[in-house]
Chain A
Amino acid sequence: MAAYIIRRLFSVIPITLGVLLLVFLIYRVIGGDPAVRLAGKNATPQKIEQIRKQFGYDKPKFFNWQEAAKTGRPMAVFDAQFWQIVRQFAQLDFGRSLQSNQRISRMIADGVVPSLCITTPIFVIELFVAVALALLCAFYRNSWIDRTFVVISIIGMSISSLVYIMLGQYFFAFELGWFPVWGFESVHYVLLPVAIGIIYSLGGSLRFYRTIMLDEMYQDYVRTAFAKGASQRQVLFKHVLKNAAIPILTNVVVAIPFLYTGSLMLESFFGIPGLGRMTVDAIYTGDEPVLFAMVFIGSVIFVIANLITDLCYTWADPRIRLQ
């Protein structure tokens, strides 16, 4: 068990470095010269050159062989853009925003709470409602109740989440005036975005959990349980739910980074000053250091969440410990 945990902990390192490399490749290599992007459309060559100097884009990307040969110090090889970022990020220094010149770590710390206010209720309520409805579908499988839910969830999945947000905001906040349209001041401001968030993600989850549960329903152990005289309810709650826990857990973990990034669209539509809106604003204004940091931190959170799930598996499924 301990060996498994330690092995699993070490596997996080290559993935995290890989993520940093990937994000670096996206922002500094794939998209061409970042200085040209930052300078904008009507930039003079001098301006571009100045930006290049200012942000260190004039250095080599990965290995500074020239510098090492010139100074004779082998460590100077690492005086390059990528290792610069590795050093910075290891010290939790994500640089400054180009727009506000604020520290990005500070901005993220400020944005976490509003984001969590929106995403945690969505996450928790949606999980419970979806699992409960999936159990209901499994209980009444192949009946009209089951079919109705399947049809509703497929229809729900086929409409853009943006449409839910636009119509929800228009009807319930603007036309009916039940909720505030924009802002983040009290609980009242959170209710509508949370409700919309639950509704538009419910369809996909319900269908996914239903499939998992129905898969389990046709397993041998279920037949055995029925044969020994267990009731539908006992089989569902004692046997199926426990066995379905692992795929459900996997699906839940995939959604954890979403707690952190917040809902990009919900936040910017309802004016909630969280990380989602920060990201959207950064795209609009071309604030690359903010985007870089957001993408990287989001991924690290995902990696950590994955690690925790794997450890949870060993608790949920004793067979894994033996591997």
Chain B
Amino acid sequence: MTDTAANSAALAAKPQTLWSTAWRQFRRNRLAVICLGIVAVYLGIFLYAESVYWIAKARDVVPAYKVTDFAARNAPPSAAHWVGTDFAGRDNLAQLIQGVRIAFEISLLTSAILIPLGFLLGALAGYFGRWVDTFIIWFYSVVDSVPSILSIISISYVVGRGMKGIVFGMGLVAWVGLCRLIRGEYLKHKQRAYVAAARALGASHFTVMFRHIAPNVLHIIIIVFTLAFPRFILTEVILSYLGVGIVGEPSWGVMINDAKQRLWLGVWWELGGATAAMFFLVLALNIVGDALRDALDPKLKTAGGPRT
């Protein structure tokens, strides 16, 4: 009783924002909180891997994860190599840690293309309507008409193998979902009284779009980002298999693909390690994304990923 009383007093004192109520809702989902912890651990590993990479680069030495040891080729898991070694005797654990770095880099860079593009086009279409809307709807219908895996492959292929190809491929294709959602929100918000008030007070279209409406659709960007993150990681594996993936760095997709032939020789640790490393991150992100959506906007309909 006293607990609820204290709670309601605290609530009365603090103004309830979307974020505070959402955070309370989110915290109630214990599984999601645990998964958020897992994501935080991965984030820590990402920062560590990034520092390993840059320090090795600054000192101009071969980083530890690339050191080959032909005496210990395809060694099974042991005290020295927890996840065994690969065909060149490189430590799999160190490579998996670098895989975290690459997965994060891909997802963050792709989002850096996807979010501005989807947000801007969606906002313009929803806010201005008329021919702007017609044109942008035509544009995203066209992009959406190309089966996503085919357009991602095409862009990655012409841009060239490697990080750039993957990031451009996924970023230039995946913005459509976000654009649709943002457009819908802007259509809704531009009818609201606060927009009319801001306009009446002399705010420009630009100010209304970005200062007044944008904060009200921010949660959609966060949800889309969290739910898209695991899909980028899964797509990277497919792109690696299709020959348009990362070159020269140990991404999870590269490791899974390298493990392909050696699985038949009984070398299971490479595949197992990469699958497990990926599984926990993707699972945690999926659960966190769902919980975020439930907490922030339960009515939001988010679409599935590319089919292969």
Binding site for B on A (CB under 8 A): 14-15, 18-19, 21-23, 26-27, 30-32, 37, 154-155, 157-163, 166-167, 170, 174, 201, 204-205, 208, 251, 254-255, 257-258, 261, 263-265, 279-280, 283-284, 291, 294-295, 298-299, 302-303, 306
Contacts and interface: CB of A to CB of B under 8 A. Distances in A.
Contacts of A258: 147, 307-308
B96 interface: no
Given A23-B146, A283-B153, A302-B147, A154 B256 contact: no
Of B145, B242, B278, B283, chain A has the most CB atoms within 10 Å of the CB of B145
A1 B160 CA distance: 48
A154 B287 contact: yes
Given A37-B158, A161-B234, 9 more contacts: A30-B155, A31-B157, A162-B237, A163-B271, A263-B308, A264-B149, A291-B154, A295-B150, A295-B151
B273 to A, nearest CB: 12
Contacts of A284: 243
B279 A158 contact: yes
Interface stretch (B74-82, B125-133, B135-143): B135-143
Interface of B: 138-139, 141-143, 145-147, 149-151, 153-155, 157-160, 230, 234, 237-238, 241-244, 256-257, 259-260, 263-264, 271, 275, 278-279, 282-283, 286-287, 303-305, 307-308
A298 B146 contact: yes
Contacts of A303: 145
Given A155-B283, A251-B304, A280-B242, A15 B154 contact: no
B282 A158 contact: yes
Interface of B is mostly: helix
B307 A255 contact: yes
Contacts of A299: 145-147, 150
Contacts of B304: 204-205, 208, 251, 254
Contacts of B307: 201, 254-255, 258
A160 B286 contact: no
13 contacts: A22-B142, A22-B143, A160-B256, A166-B256, A170-B263, A201-B307, A204-B304, A251-B304, A264-B242, A283-B243, A283-B244, A295-B154, A302-B147
B158 A166 contact: no
Contacts of B260: 166
A257 B303 CA distance: 16
Contacts of B145: 15, 18-19, 299, 302-303, 306
B205 to A, nearest CB: 27
Contacts of A163: 256, 271, 275
A162 B154 contact: no
Given A154-B283, A154-B287, A283-B243, A161 B308 contact: yes
A261 B256 contact: no
A160 B158 contact: no
A160 B146 contact: no
B283 A14 contact: no
A160 B234 contact: yes
A318 B242 CA distance: 44
A265 B150 contact: no
Nearest to B285: A158
Given A15-B141, A255-B307, A263-B308, A162 B241 contact: yes
A31 B159 contact: yes
Nearest to A306: B145
A91 to B, nearest CB: 22
A27 to B, nearest CB: 6
A193 B279 CA distance: 22
Contacts, number: 136
A54 B155 CA distance: 24
Contacts of A261: 147, 149-150
A266 to B, nearest CB: 8
B148 to A, nearest CB: 9
Contacts of A158: 230, 278-279, 282-283, 286
Contacts of A204: 304-305
A27 B158 contact: yes
A194 B69 CA distance: 41
Nearest to A159: B279
A-B interface, 8 closest residue pairs, ranked by CB to CB distance from nearest:
A31-B158, A18-B142, A158-B283, A158-B282, A257-B147, A160-B237, A299-B146, A295-B150
Contacts of A21: 142
A141 B179 CA distance: 33
A68 B123 CA distance: 41
Interface centre among B139, B150, B157 (most CB of A within 10 A): B150
Contacts of B263: 166, 170
A151 B187 CA distance: 36
Max chain A Cβ within 10 angstroms of own Cβ: one of B158, B256, B286: B158
A14 B138 contact: yes
A194 to B, nearest CB: 15
B74 to A, nearest CB: 16
B141 to A, nearest CB: 6
A276 to B, nearest CB: 9
Which residue, B139, B147, B256, B305, has most C-beta atoms of chain A within 10 A?
B147
From B143, B271, B308, residue with most partner A Cβ within 10 Å: B308
Residue from A32, A162, A291 whose CB has the most chain B CB atoms within 10 Å: A162
B100 to A, nearest CB: 15
A268 to B, nearest CB: 8
Contacts of A14: 138
Contacts of A18: 138-139, 141-142, 145
A255 B271 CA distance: 29
A291 B244 CA distance: 14
Nearest to A34: B158
